[in-house]
Amino acid sequence: MRAIWVLALIAGCSDYDLTGEPPEQEAPIEETDDPPVVDETLDNPLAVCASDPSQVRPGLDPNTWVGENSSDPEGIGITEYRWTLVSAPTGSTAALAAGTGANRGFQADVAGVYQAELVVVTEDGRISAPCTASLTAGELQLPVAVCFSDPDTVRPPMQSNTWVGADSYDPEGRNLVDFRWSFVSAPAGSSATLGGSGPDRPFLADAAGTYQAQLVVVTDDNRESEPCVAELEAIPAEALWIEMYWETAEDIDLHLLEGNGRLHDAARDCHWRNCTAGLEWGVAGAGDNPSLDLDDTEGTGPENINITAPAAGTYTVVAHDWVGVHPVFGTPTDFDGVNQVTVNIYIDGLLEFTDTRPMEGEDAVIEFAEVDWPSATITPL
């Protein structure tokens, strides 16, 4: 019985120690939001930051603070990109765009220098050293158009040139996306145009004289250069060079008669029908043969006849208004009204005669001048 009583007594006193005092209670474990313990043996992440672009016009051009190239050498993911605008020009109220990502939009509002700081944090709580990027807001320099003609002197209409703009550049380092070539001036009567695209443009002068072409370049942020003007001289190389053009589009033909030759004389009248490949005059095989290099049937010219070294004799310059439909091209040539026709005569590359006369009616003929050779005397008719 005594043993049973002792066991019962021990069972009833299980919350007390042998001294009769209750045992000490363990403190409850408290939950906390403290960051994870950082392993200080690991390298810190690397914040990499920049402004794109690095220069803007205040109030006009936005930029982006870029942090997406940041990394962690331990290969742990980056969970925070802490961007802070650490300095701005006096008077600025600009702020970083809201967000938590690696990149932040921004709009500078006054001229000056802005600085933004980036700190990145990894999943395990390691923090990078700060990275600072700068943005300059102000009037950007304009791109620079550089242009010239290569070569700068040609023989019309046989020798071509190239208008060159490939040396143009932007001091701000942006890409040039447009090369706007246009003519500033060209000789009267020229119908030549600037074709193609890109910085360099091939060209063929069709009339004697001075051509001026202008280049404006444009960057990918829409800044335009001041114009650059290049010049080309088209100088006839032949001893006798004749060109003709007119005011209103129709088919007017240039003729050059030898001696007492008549209009449309197959042997002694150089014109569109028989002279585009040259016509045998004077000494066989010599440079005294005429050649019609340009023939315009639908526009305003120019047309051109030249002789490298004319034989002794007289040459008559004639304009003829073709009648009806062109026999070869099938195009209508009618024009009702008065057309102003101009003839220029060059001797050894120099303009020695020019005259403009009215021509009215189909099949009209105008004799402009007679040229005597070798005296190079020009007599208006």
Residues 6+ apart with CB under 8 A from 93: 109
Residues 6+ apart with CB under 8 A from 331: 251, 297, 298, 325
Q: Is 196 exposed, middle or buried (0-12, 13-18, 19+ CB in 10 A)?
A: exposed
Half-sphere exposure of 270 (CA within 13 A, CB side): 28
User: Model's pTM, two decimal places?
Assistant: 0.69
Distance (Å, rounded) from C-alpha 122 to C-alpha 200?
A: 52
Q: Distance of alpha carbon 216 from its chain centroid, rounded?
A: 7
Query: Which pLDDT score, from 0 to 100, does residue 16 have?
Result: 46
Angstrom distances, CA of residue 52 to CA of 55, 66, 105, 370: 8, 7, 10, 71
Distance (Å, rounded) from C-alpha 81 to C-alpha 101?
A: 6
**CA angle centred on 368, ends 364 and 374, rounded to 5°:** 140
Q: Which residue has the tokens 């006054």?
A: 110
pLDDT in tens, the chain (381 residues): 344 333 333 344 444 444 555 555 555 555 555 555 566 778 999 999 999 999 898 998 899 999 999 999 999 999 999 999 999 999 999 999 999 999 999 999 999 999 999 999 999 999 999 999 999 999 888 999 999 999 999 999 999 999 999 999 999 889 999 999 999 999 999 999 998 889 999 999 999 999 999 999 999 988 999 999 999 999 999 999 999 999 999 999 999 999 999 999 999 999 999 999 889 998 887 799 999 999 998 899 999 999 999 999 999 999 999 886 655 556 555 677 899 999 999 999 999 999 999 999 889 999 999 999 999 999 999
Residues 6+ apart with CB under 8 A from 2: none
Residues 6+ apart with CB under 8 A from 161: 149, 150, 151, 152, 154, 202, 203, 205, 232
The answer to whether 297 and 330 are in contact (CB under 8 A) is no
Q: What is the DSSP letter of 4?
A: H
The answer to whether 119 and 44 are in contact (CB under 8 A) is no
Structure tokens at 245: 């053009």
3-state secondary structure of 165: coil
Query: Which pLDDT score, from 0 to 100, does residue 13 have?
Result: 41
Structure tokens at 190: 């020229």
- Cα radius of gyration rounded to whole Å, the chain: 44
Distance (Å, rounded) from C-alpha 254 to C-alpha 236?
A: 17
